[in-house]
C-alpha cells in the first residue's frame, strides 16, 4: 500500500496543474483551464495510472538503494517528456536558469548546440568564437564520450550538464566524425560564452557581409545597428547574410531578421492543437537595404530559426540561397514554467514557410548547392599568357574612351586580386556568394533582373 504522502503526490502529478506559459519569443501565452468534455481522450487512463503506481511502489521498495519520492517522480517526468521528441524535456532549476541565460546572450560552457539522434549526442553547430569552434568541432560530429565516460543513451540535458562546469576547467570530448575512421579527441577549456549574435564587415567596397550566429531577443536590434554601419561606408550594392551553423533560438529574433529585408508578405506561420499555438507573422516596410541583391548562406548546421529566415526570404523571392541542405527542424518549443523554479520545454507547434512548406526532417534545399571543398593554390608555371595588346603589329582600339568608360563601371571595376585570393582560401562559400552577388548587382545596374528565377 502506498503511504498517504506518496499517493497525494501521484494524484497531483496526474491531475495536473495549470501553469503560466511563455512562447518561444518570450511573449506570454494565456493557458486556459479546459472545459468539461465528453471526449474519451480527455479521460484519465486509470488502468495505466494503476500500473505506474505499481511500478513506482516496486522501485521504491525493491531497488538496491533508497530513492526519494522526489527523485523518482522527477525521473518519471523526464521520461514522459523525453519520449515525445528530441526537443521536449524537463528542465530542473539549474537547467531552466541556464536556458534563460542562453537566450539573453551570456552563459557558461563550451559554446556548442547539441541534440539526441539515434541514441547519440550530435552536434548541431558550434557557436562562433567559443571553445568549441576554436577546437575545430564541426556540425554533424557525434559526441560519444566526455572525459572518457560513454554517452550512449544519455539524454541531451544530461549531456549538456556534463559539458557545463566552472570557467577555466578542462574537459575532453571524444567525437565520431564523418570521413574519419577513428574517433577524434579534442581538449577544451570551459569559458563564459558571451554571444555577439550579429557581426558585419565589408567584403569589397559596396558589398557587405553579415553573420548571425544565433537568434536572441536583441538580434533584430543588433542587425539594424550592423546594417547602419555598412551603409555609412557608402552605397550598399549587395549583401551576404551568413546563417551557416546557426542553431536557431528565439522565434521573435528570426521574424525580426526576415522582416528587415522584406517590405511585405508572409514571414512564417505556426499550427498547433491549441489556439495560442496558431500564429502568423507578416512583414512590414521598410526593406532596410532598399531592395539591394541578397545572398543567404546556409548549411547542414542551419536549424530552426535560421530555417525560418531562409524559407521566408526564399519563398518571397527576396534572396538567393547558397550552400547545402539545412538541418530540418520545423517545430516550435514552448517553455512552461512550474511553480518550483523548474520548467518543461515542450513542442507545441509546427512552423510553415510562406508557401506552406514544412521543413520538418527535410530541411531547405538551397537554390545553388555548394559542396564541401578545400581550395588549394596552384603552383605557378613558366607558361606566360599573352593578350592581344602584347602581340606585335596588333590593331589599335578605334574607340578607347568607350572601353575606359565600361571598365570604370561601379560594379565591373577591377578586383583587388590579393583580397579576393585571401577570401577564396579562407572561405570558399563566402567567395562564391560574393561572386554571385556582384553578378546580381551588375544586372541591376544595367537595368536587368537583380535576382535569379
Catalytic annotation, residues: 304, 315, 329
Do residues 218 and 197 touch, judged by C-beta distance below 8 A? yes
At 30, phi and psi to the nearest 5? -85, 125
Beta bridge mates, 145:
150, 174
124, containing H or E segment: strand 120-126
Cα 59 off chain centre by: 40
Q: In whole angstroms, what is the distance from residue 100 CA to residue 102 CA?
A: 5
3-state SS, one letter per residue, for 129-196: CCHHHHCCCCCCCEEEEECCEECCCCCHHHHHHHHCCCCCCEEEEEEECCCCCCCEEEEEECEEEECC
Do residues 259 and 309 touch, judged by C-beta distance below 8 A? no
Q: In whole angstroms, what is the distance from residue 220 CA to residue 261 CA?
A: 11
Beta bridge mates, 346:
334
Q: What does the block give as the cell for 23?
A: 512562447
Cα 6 off chain centre by: 42
Task: State how far the alpha carbon of 409 is from the alpha carbons of 149, 404, 418, 446, in Å.
Answer: 61, 9, 20, 10
**DSSP codes of every residue in 305-358:** HHHHHHHHHHHTT--EEEES------EEEEEEE-TTS-EEEEEEEEEE-TTS--
Other C-beta atoms lying within 10 Å of the C-beta of residue 291: 13
Do residues 308 and 254 touch, judged by C-beta distance below 8 A? yes
Positive/negative CA dihedral, 405, 406, 411, 416: negative
Amino acid at each position: 500500500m502506498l503511504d498517504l504522502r506518496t499517493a497525494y503526490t501521484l494524484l497531483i502529478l496526474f491531475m495536473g496543474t495549470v501553469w503560466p506559459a511563455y512562447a518561444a519569443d518570450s511573449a506570454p501565452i494565456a493557458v486556459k483551464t479546459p472545459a468539461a468534455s465528453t471526449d474519451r481522450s480527455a479521460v484519465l487512463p486509470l488502468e495505466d495510472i494503476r500500473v505506474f503506481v505499481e511500478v513506482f511502489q516496486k522501485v521504491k521498495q525493491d531497488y538496491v538503494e533508497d530513492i526519494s519520492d522526489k527523485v523518482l517522480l522527477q525521473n518519471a517526468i523526464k521520461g514522459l517528456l523525453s519520449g515525445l521528441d528530441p526537443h521536449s524535456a524537463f528542465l530542473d532549476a539549474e537547467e531552466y536558469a541556464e536556458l534563460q541565460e542562453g537566450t539573453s546572450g551570456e552563459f557558461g560552457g563550451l559554446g556548442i548546440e547539441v541534440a539526441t539522434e539515434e541514441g547519440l549526442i550530435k552536434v548541431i553547430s558550434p557557436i562562433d568564437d567559443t571553445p568549441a569552434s576554436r577546437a575545430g568541432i564541426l556540425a554533424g560530429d557525434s559526441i560519444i564520450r566526455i572525459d572518457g565516460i560513454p554517452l550512449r543513451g544519455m539524454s541531451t540535458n544530461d549531456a549538456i550538464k556534463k559539458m557545463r562546469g566552472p570557467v577555466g576547467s578542462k574537459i575532453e570530448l571524444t567525437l565520431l566524425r564523418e570521413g574519419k575512421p577513428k574517433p577524434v579527441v579534442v581538449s577544451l577549456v570551459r569559458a563564459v560564452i558571451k554571444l555577439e549574435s550579429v557581426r558585419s564587415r565589408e567584403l569589397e567596397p559596396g558589398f557587405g557581409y553579415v553573420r548571425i550566429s544565433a537568434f536572441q531577443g536583441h538580434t533584430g536590434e543588433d542587425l539594424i545597428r550592423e546594417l547602419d554601419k555598412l551603409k555609412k561606408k557608402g552605397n550598399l550594392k549587395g549583401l551576404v547574410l551568413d546563417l551557416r551553423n546557426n542553431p536557431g533560438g528565439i522565434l521573435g529574433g528570426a521574424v525580426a531578421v526576415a522582416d528587415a529585408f522584406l517590405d511585405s508578405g508572409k514571414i512564417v506561420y505556426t499550427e498547433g492543437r491549441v489556439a495560442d499555438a496558431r500564429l502568423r507573422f507578416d512583414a512590414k516596410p521598410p526593406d532596410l537595404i532598399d531592395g539591394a541583391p541578397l545572398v543567404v548562406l546556409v548549411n547542414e548546421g542551419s536549424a530552426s530559426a535560421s530555417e525560418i529566415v531562409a524559407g521566408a526570404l526564399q519563398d518571397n523571392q527576396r534572396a538567393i540561397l547558397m550552400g547545402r541542405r539545412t538541418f530540418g527542424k520545423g517545430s516550435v518549443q514552448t517553455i512552461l514554467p512550474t511553480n518550483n523554479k523548474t520548467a518543461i520545454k515542450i513542442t507545441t507547434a509546427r512552423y510553415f514557410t510562406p508557401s506552406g512548406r514544412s521543413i520538418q526532417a527535410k530541411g531547405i534545399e538551397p537554390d545553388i548547392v555548394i559542396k564541401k571543398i578545400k581550395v588549394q593554390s596552384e603552383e605557378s608555371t613558366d607558361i606566360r599568357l599573352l593578350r592581344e595588346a602584347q602581340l606585335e603589329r596588333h590593331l589599335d582600339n578605334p574607340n578607347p574612351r568607350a572601353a575606359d568608360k565600361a571598365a570604370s563601371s561601379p560594379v565591373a571595376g577591377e578586383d583587388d586580386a590579393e583580397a579576393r585570393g585571401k577570401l577564396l582560401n579562407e572561405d570558399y562559400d563566402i567567395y562564391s556568394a560574393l561572386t554571385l552577388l556582384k553578378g546580381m548587382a551588375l544586372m541591376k545596374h544595367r537595368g536587368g533582373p537583380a535576382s535569379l528565377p
